[in-house]
Amino acid sequence: MKIRSNIFLAALCAALLSVPAKAQEPITTPDSLKAAQTPDSAEVRVPVLPLSIFSGRPETADSLRKAYDFRAAVEWCRRGLESCDSTEVERWEKEKALSENGLSMSAFCSEPEVVAKYRFSLEDFCLYYPLAAGSWHPMPEVPGLDSKDPANPYLYAPDGSKTIYFSARDAEGIRNLYCSSEGDSLWSAPRLLNESLTSSEDEIQPWISPDGKSLCFASRGLFGMGGYDLYVSEWNETEGDWGQPVNLGFPFSSPYDDYLFAVSDDGQYSIFASNRECSADSVVVYVLEFDSMPLRRNFDTVDALKNLCSLPLKEEGMGHVDTSGKGAIQEDENVVRYRTAMDKVRAVRDSISSVSAGIERLRNTLKSDENIDRDALIAEITQKEMSLPTMQELLTEAMKELQQIEMAFLSGGIVIDPDKLKAEAEREVIGTESNYVFERNEPGAPIDIVFEIPEPAFDYNFQVLETGQFAEDNTLPEGLVYQIQLFASARKVTEKDLKGLSPVFIRAASGGQKAYSAGLFRSYADVLSNLNTAKKAGFRNAMIVAFNDGSQISVPQARKLEASASPALYILRFIPENGNVEAAIALIHVQTDKDISRASDGDGSVYEVGPFRDKAECERLQSALSTAGLARSEIIKTEYQ
């Protein structure tokens, strides 16, 4: 049974939530909208910690988030933002955003049936997925990209693939998603997927459905709750491009690293991997019954959400390797407490390890990069080092809690072997009903792919090079543009005459001469700050010139035009799905304090949120509504009045 694209779409995008619409009075004012109940309307619970370790460090919020205590993490971040200095604001805001995302998504969780799960090495876990033998191939060399990456050792390309999707690191070391199509003799030059599937952080491990209509991947830069989250994007036939990616939500995504969502070739199982139950160098592969129409509900307690994301087997004693039950650890409430305490210890240790690794990377950069801002780097190292004692105290407290539970066990005559407990948690599980067994597929042979070599794009950023460069295209962009005019000449000018400046544009001037101008600047302040660069290069008479839509205007005119220009703002217009107005409004209030109003529409079902100065903030809200399956939406660019 092959998966049809409409079923896959319904399962992963359009049917993410089924919430019955409630009778309600028409919403006419922003105040009445703000009175709607939100998932975080209950009193925020702040973790009880010794005052000696309440230092307000972002790492504590990270540990709370990884323990699924999103409310406490949000409150911790709120307090941190009230007292932190300017150098830490960005880190605090990022932690707060991740925790808020986790809180909002906890209201829309699915409950898949777990068939089996087992721990594998991070290096080859994909070979245990129930996909066609030979579908995975060693990742080939890709010109201009770093494709030999431990995070992407294999390329998914079933027999007959005419287009391949893969992840590779760019020149800045960021992992992006690329695709390439087979031509007559060469594969096309790898091209980035669209803007909505590309973030400032990593995207990895793409998997394409057999019909080519659904693209699943992992990202830690899109709307998510930390680590790698799982997303699906659907092919839009009308636009001929991939649509807005949707976070698959709990329990597929989590605050940990979640990898490689796929659906078995027979359409029976959903599969993904995560390190939420193991160390970072391995993953647990989860095999779930595929649900074409999953129902979503709110998991409003930390314990309930944590249990959901542990993906327990639904049937007690279901197909463990040790079927005799002799010596098995009874899963009573004491053992659950012990496991929870162990999880807390592991979460704090992971945070300490992450911070320590970051310090080591910064130290290496300090040693190897002579052009780095050393003072800023030393300050960042010092800040991270100062956080370690606090985290170590938190670890000590967690260890004490674990030891207290162990002492309680001993006093009650109960002996727990931690190694045995760990083995119980990590043992192979086979579904008795489905008779599911993990089998390793050998990877396919290396694919002989020869890519077209892309022409390097011309860099139009103003810069000083060893040899100056003329602009490839002398056409000026639309709108207001400033340039630095270097000189005018009737003679032939060579690149040597440019004295390293790039790019230099040529335009006709009076008297049969040609004018030579450097750079493209959108503001007077920007061009003014670079004027001395041209003068120091030897162009003593360099001056600022201005253009509007390609026509030259005076600099005073340009500055007046720049001062009166209206900044672009963004509005999110949305239509609630299946009448879920209240649920959509509740989610919006978790994400932003922007006003909500009705748009002028005949049936009154269209709403607008905004305005947003930051388009990225608007996009995050759009992604949240899409993830929850609550609304169809579009971003509208407007002008501030």
| CA 463/CA 569 separation, integer angstroms | 31
Of 66-70, 95-99, 511-515, 625-629, the least confident: 625-629
The listed range with the strongest mean pLDDT (122-136, 501-515, 617-631) is: 501-515
| Amino acid found at 95 | E
Collapsing DSSP to helix, strand or coil, 91 comes out as helix
| CA 72/CA 301 separation, integer angstroms | 12
The 10s digit of each residue's pLDDT in 231-254 is 999 888 888 888 888 889 999 999
Query: DSSP readout, 517-583?
Result: EEEEESSHHHHHHHHHHHHHTT-TT-EEEEEETTEEE-HHHHHHHHHHPPPEEEEEEEEEGGG-HHH
The 10s digit of each residue's pLDDT in 66-80 is 999 999 888 888 888
The 10s digit of each residue's pLDDT in 516-553 is 999 999 999 999 999 999 999 999 999 999 999 999 99
Contact between residue 189 and residue 182 where contact means Cβ atoms under 8 Å apart: no
Q: Where on the phi/psi map is residue 325: left (φ > 0), alpha (ψ -120 to 50), or beta?
A: left
Contact between residue 213 and residue 235 where contact means Cβ atoms under 8 Å apart: yes
pLDDT band at 431 (very low <50, low <70, confident <90, very high): very low
- In the chain, count H helices and then E strands: 13, 25
For residue 556, pLDDT over 80 is answered with: yes
Neighbour count for residue 481 (Cβ, 10 Å) = 21
Assigned CATH topology for domain 463-564: Alpha-Beta Plaits (3.30.70)
Give the side-chain half-sphere CA count within 13 A for 59.
Answer: 27
Contact between residue 348 and residue 391 where contact means Cβ atoms under 8 Å apart: yes
Collapsing DSSP to helix, strand or coil, 180 comes out as strand
Closest of 128, 118, 122, 131 to residue 311, by C-alpha:
118
**Could you tell me which residue, 553 or 19, shows the higher pLDDT?**
553
* CA atoms 18, 19, 25, 27: torsion sign: negative
Annotate 305-335 with b (16+ C-beta within 10 A) or e (fewer). bbebbbbebeeeebbbeeeeeeeebeeeeeb
- 377 φ/ψ angles, rounded to the nearest 5 degrees: -70, -40
For residue 5, pLDDT over 60 is answered with: no
User: Please, what is the end-to-end C-alpha distance for the chain in angstroms?
Assistant: 56
Determine the pLDDT at residue 558.
94
Strands (E) located in 172-296: 175-181, 191-192, 203-208, 214-219, 229-236, 241-242, 246-247, 258-263, 269-274, 282-289
The listed range with the strongest mean pLDDT (176-180, 294-298, 412-416, 419-423) is: 176-180
**Could you tell me which residue, 232 or 587, shows the higher pLDDT?**
232
* CA atoms 148, 152, 156, 162: torsion sign: negative
Sequence-distant (≥ 6) Cβ neighbours of residue 68 within 8 angstroms? 102, 255, 302, 305, 306, 309
| CA 7/CA 236 separation, integer angstroms | 15
CATH number for the segment(s) 1-38+567-641: 3.30.70
**Could you tell me which residue, 521 or 159, shows the higher pLDDT?**
521
For residue 417, pLDDT over 70 is answered with: no
Determine the pLDDT at residue 616.
79
| Amino acid found at 373 | D
Predicted TM-score (pTM) of the model is: 0.58
| CA 198/CA 203 separation, integer angstroms | 7
Contact between residue 252 and residue 282 where contact means Cβ atoms under 8 Å apart: no
pLDDT band at 18 (very low <50, low <70, confident <90, very high): very low
For residue 418, pLDDT over 70 is answered with: no
Closest of 42, 334, 95, 416 to residue 226, by C-alpha:
95
Determine the pLDDT at residue 409.
67
**Owner of token pair 């399956």:** 629
Strands (E) located in 320-402: none
Collapsing DSSP to helix, strand or coil, 616 comes out as helix
| Amino acid found at 593 | D
Determine the pLDDT at residue 507.
94
The 10s digit of each residue's pLDDT in 324-373 is 333 333 445 666 677 677 767 777 777 777 778 778 888 888 887 777 77
What does the H/E/C string look like for 186-215? CECCCEECCHHHCCCCCEEEEEECCCCCEE
| Amino acid found at 638 | T
Mean pLDDT, the chain, integer? 78
pLDDT band at 384 (very low <50, low <70, confident <90, very high): confident
For residue 151, pLDDT over 70 is answered with: yes
Strands (E) located in 255-399: 258-263, 269-274, 282-289
Determine the pLDDT at residue 416.
57
| CA 499/CA 99 separation, integer angstroms | 52
